[in-house]
Structures are given as C-alpha cells and as structure tokens.
A and B are shown apart, each in its own frame.
Chain A
Amino acid sequence: MNTSVKMILVLTIIATLSGGLLSFWDAFTSPKIEEYRQKEVKKAVKEVLPSAENYREDIKTAGPYTFYLGYDGNELIGLAFNVKGGGFQDIISLMVGVTPDFSQITGLSVLDQKETPGLGTKIAEDPSRKGDETWFTNQFRGKSPFPEIYYVKNKKAEADSEIEAISGATISSQAVINILNFHIARAKEAWSNPGQADLMQDCDEKTPDQHIRISEEDALFNVLPSADKYVKKEAGNFKFFLTYNENKISGIAYRSEGRGYEGPIKLLIGLEPDFETITGLAVLEYCETPGFGTRILSDPSRPAEKNWFLQQFPGKKISPALTLIHNKEPGLPNEIEAVSGATVTSQTIINIINTSVPEARTAFQSIK
C-alpha cells in the first residue's frame, strides 16, 4: 500500500477509535462530575447563608451574577452569589452570602484557589489554628461591605468593615477583600437594576481600555472647583457630594447614569448650589465603541485638546435644557457641540443631565 495512504488511514483509525472511546467515557463520568460541582456549590451556599431555615433552590440571574436565594419561611433573608478575581497566583473563586439589602455579609466560603501552599492557602484553611481553620473567612460574617472592607495587621479586627489579614499572606488577604469590595457593590447594582445588569455583562466582556472605570472621589476634583473637603449626603435615589464655603454650600455633585451606545454610561455631575449652572462633568464608567464613542473622552481629531467635549460643560446653563448642536461652535449658554462620530454617545450624556437635574433638585430640597 502507498505509504501516504497508509499514514492517513492509520492516524484516522486511531483518532476515530480514541474519539469514540472518550465520548463513551465522557458520558459515563460527566454526570458524576456535574453532581459533585452542584454539591460543592450547594454546600457553599448553605455555609454562607447560615440563618436560612429552608434554603430554596431559587436562582435568579442578573447580568454577570447568579443569585441563590435563602428563605426563612416565605421571607427572603439572604442572597448568595459566586465571585471571582485575581489572587497571588491564580483566580480565587468565592461564594459570598449577604442580607437582601447588601448591608451585611452573612458568610464567605472559598470555592477554589491556587495560592502558595502553606501561606496564601490559609485564606481557605489555616492548619496553624487548630479547631478554627477557617477563621479568616469566618470573620467576614456580620461585617458591613460598605463603604468598603479593609484589613488590619497583627491585631484583632473590631470595626464594622475591618478584617484581620493573615500574617505571611497579606496579598492573598488583600485579594479576597478586593474581590468582595468590587463585586458586592456591583452585584447590589445588578440585583436592584436587572436591566442595567445585562449591559454590565456585555461591558465585562469588552477590552479593559474600552471599559473605563474611575471612582467618584477621583472625579470629584474635576467637577467641583474646590473639593478639598466634602460631605456625603443621601436623598432619594441620589448620593450628593457637598462642598462648603464659610458654612454655605458652594458646590453640589451627584452621580447619574443612562444607557450609552453599547453599555451604561455613569456620570458625575457638578453644579452650582442653584442647580442652574454646571461646574464640571466627569465620566465614571462607560464602554463605548473604540474610536467612536470613546471620543467623548479623547478625540484624536483635536490633539491639542482631546477632552474638549467634557471641557465645554463648565459654565453651561441647564434651563430650559441642554441642546446638542452639530459642526459649529456653540453660541448660546445651553448649547453643547456634539462629537462627530459619537453623536449617540454625546446625546446620551445630554439626556442624562437634562433628565436627572430636575430630579436631583427635588431630592435635594428634602435635605435642606
């Protein structure tokens, strides 16, 4: 027989037999593997929702999160969900339980980790503390995840959001805390606003430079003229940052969001106390189309002033409403020039401001 034909024939036969054998073996083992995985998840859910009398197999998905619901009778008393993030060496996967309002952690369990044996692995099991091997995760029970969890070293954790770090495994301890701080806040958002949650998932799959996120505190300096000292106040759906000048409110900033072209756009809007004049605008989060929507932050066609779009806002008047104009310099104090190629994104930002300012003003009256 021709060698080439023989080669092809032999390899084909071997590969076919191998494939057949493996598909049979897979059918045999898959149910067992899946069963074990389910058991692990169930065990972890029970562990992190200790007070759920009859944990019901209710699962609700919102964006990237899958929530397991814990009930006491018919009352929802806790949510458990799986979160993942980078550890010292590999991904750490956690199951975290919270009260339905996300104000308290009810339990934490490590599903998977590949930290340094003997050091980072103590986040899951610490053999040096006999009888209390899971002390690290146990201490999260009852802690408040907001504003954020932080760690202390070599002393007992006391405060509401304080966690004692593992000595010799500070990075792994910090990694667990970072994962929780990031995901609990986002899961809360996804839980209370499932519509946004789907967009959140789309955004998560995009590249990091397309998906921008900055914190409110960092942005505050850009939207209020003097933001060295600020006070946070909540009213209605709004969280206000207030700056004072000789006991009088000198600036107000608040967060608002809307749907952009591809995902949510979150803004921090700075205003004079009369809610009439904009003092500044910052984008906290967006994931717009690279090269188009992203021009609202960085426009390559105007290299000298890449963020000119946002720079237009300080001094603009909101009443009656901001108006988008195209391809000409704005003349009136309520006109904003659109970014060509990013009209949808520009319009979204205008809309967010126009709709949120009156609502924010009403909410703000209640503080006064």
Chain B
Amino acid sequence: MAKKVTLKEDFLKGIWKENPILIALLGLCPTLAVTISVENGLAMGLAASFVLICSSTLISILRNLIPKQVRIASFIVIIATFVTIADRYLAAFYPDISKNLGPFIPLIIVNCMILGRQEAFASKNGVGRSILDAVGMGIGFTLVLIILSGIRELLGSGTLLGMQVMWPSFSPWMVMILPPGAFLTLGLMIGASNWINDRRAK
C-alpha cells in the first residue's frame, strides 16, 4: 500500500509540489522566450516533455552501465539525440511552428530541467518510477507554459490559438508579447503559487 502512494507522488510532484518552473525555477529561458502564443507554448512544452520522457527512460535503463565519471557527458549525448529528433520532426511536419520557435528547440539540450531530472532522479531510480517522474514533470512544465502563453496571447494579441476572443475594440497590450510581459506574467504566477502554498500550510 505504502509503495502505491509513492508512485502516485512520483507522478504528481512534478505538476505542483516540485513544479519545474514555478517551484524549481528551471528551464526559464525557453519559458520566457517562446510563450508569445499558446501554439508556441504548447509545442515547446510537448517537445521538452518528449525529450524528458525518452531521456529519463533510456538513462534509467542504462544507469548501472554508465560509469559515474562520464555520466554527464552520456546524459548530454542522449538528450541531444532526442532533441535533434524532435527538432527535425517539427521542421519536417510543422514547419511554421519550427520557424516560430527558432533556436529554442535545439536549446532544449541545455535545459536544466531535463539534465536536472536525469541527475536527480532517472540515474538513481528504476525505469517505471523514472517514467512516472518524467511524465509528471513534463505535464507540469507544459501546463505552466500553456497558462503563461495563454495570458500573454490573450492580453498581447487579443487571441487564443490564433482565434479572436477579445471584443473587437480591445486594444492589445503590446508589452505582453515583448520580453517584459514574460517576466511580469511569470513573476505574478510564481507569486500566486507561493501564496496558495502558504495558505495551504496554515
């Protein structure tokens, strides 16, 4: 019984308690840069999750074979392989999204969230738990990106997923799709999550 709870926790902690963006503040570079539209945020979240899940799976399988002196080098090669697969896939089948995301897909290679999960979890735990951990973290990362990009697109362009949702006379807040908008929105989101956690603790 006790073990079952742990598995559930492995999965759920990435979504809220140890959310990679809101709590651990990892992988902020793509978070801030690409979230000007929901489409971008979603694509980024899914690409990073794909890389995370594949890398965690493979690395937890190989964890006893990789000597600890070369573990980081091995992790990076494995992560880079999956990133390249994701990057080429997007370029071939979703060229518009790939064009929008520019260099940020290749930059997933150095995303601390992914390397962090390998070092902290996948290289020390079994395959099943590592997959659960990666899926949870991926969902947590993607959800935050969707919310962040949703707020920015709604206020900055008046649209959601490219469809007009604000009233016609609404004048978009330019600042929201510029870098300051990303910092402001993310700051408020982190503040809100801290506030909720504080209230819960009491």
Q: B-contacting residues of A (Cβ < 8 Å)?
A: 3, 6-7, 10-11, 14-15, 18, 21-22, 25-26, 29, 32-33, 36, 112, 114, 116-119, 127
Contacts and interface: CB of A to CB of B under 8 A. Distances in A.
B185 interface: no
B177 A10 contact: no
Contacts of B157: 118, 127
B4 to A, nearest CB: 34
A346 B102 CA distance: 49
Contact of B74 (A3, A10, A127): A10
A7 B67 contact: yes
A6 B65 CA distance: 9
B2 interface: no
Contacts of A26: 88
B77 A14 contact: yes
B178 A116 contact: yes
A32 B93 CA distance: 8
B85 A25 contact: yes
A3 B69 contact: yes
Given A6-B67, A10-B70, A127-B157, A114 B77 contact: no
Nearest to B66: A10
Given A29-B88, A29-B89, 14 more contacts: A7-B70, A10-B66, A14-B74, A22-B84, A22-B85, A25-B85, A29-B91, A29-B92, A33-B92, A33-B95, A36-B95, A118-B172, A118-B177, A118-B178
A352 B13 CA distance: 78
A117 B84 contact: no
B interface, size bucket: 20 to 34
Contacts of B80: 18
B49 to A, nearest CB: 19
Nearest to B173: A118
B156 interface: yes
Nearest to A24: B85
A22 B178 CA distance: 35
A119 B74 CA distance: 43
Given A10-B65, A25-B84, A117 B92 contact: no
Given A7-B67, A7-B69, A10-B67, A21 B81 contact: yes
Nearest to A31: B92
Contact of A11 (B70, B85, B92): B70
B73 A11 contact: yes
B89 A118 contact: no
Contacts of A11: 70, 73-74, 77
A118 B84 contact: no
B112 interface: no
B189 interface: no
Closest 10 pairs (CB-CB, A-B): A32-B92, A29-B92, A18-B81, A29-B88, A7-B70, A36-B95, A117-B177, A7-B67, A33-B91, A33-B92
Contacts of B62: 14
A29 B95 CA distance: 12
B28 interface: no
Interface of B: 36, 62, 65-67, 69-70, 73-74, 77-78, 80-81, 84-85, 88-89, 91-93, 95, 99, 102, 156-157, 172, 174, 177-178
Contacts of B102: 114
A44 to B, nearest CB: 14
A32 to B, nearest CB: 4
22 contacts: A3-B67, A6-B67, A7-B67, A7-B69, A7-B70, A10-B74, A11-B73, A11-B74, A14-B74, A18-B78, A25-B84, A25-B85, A26-B88, A32-B92, A32-B93, A33-B91, A33-B95, A36-B91, A36-B95, A117-B178, A118-B157, A119-B174
A6 B71 CA distance: 12
B62 to A, nearest CB: 8
B44 to A, nearest CB: 15
A15 B81 CA distance: 9
B178 A18 contact: no
A6 B66 CA distance: 8
A14 B177 contact: no
B82 to A, nearest CB: 9
Which among A3, A22, A29, A112 has the greatest number of chain B C-beta atoms within 10 A? A29
Given A25-B85, A29-B88, A14 B78 contact: yes
B159 to A, nearest CB: 9
A6 B70 CA distance: 10
A55 to B, nearest CB: 22
A309 B69 CA distance: 65
Contacts of B99: 112
A48 B157 CA distance: 29
A36 B92 contact: yes
Contacts of A118: 156-157, 172, 174, 177-178
Which among B36, B62, B88 has the greatest number of chain A C-beta atoms within 10 A? B88
Contacts of A6: 67
A22 B89 contact: no
Nearest to A6: B67
A15 B95 CA distance: 28
A211 to B, nearest CB: 29
Nearest to B81: A18
B77 A18 contact: yes
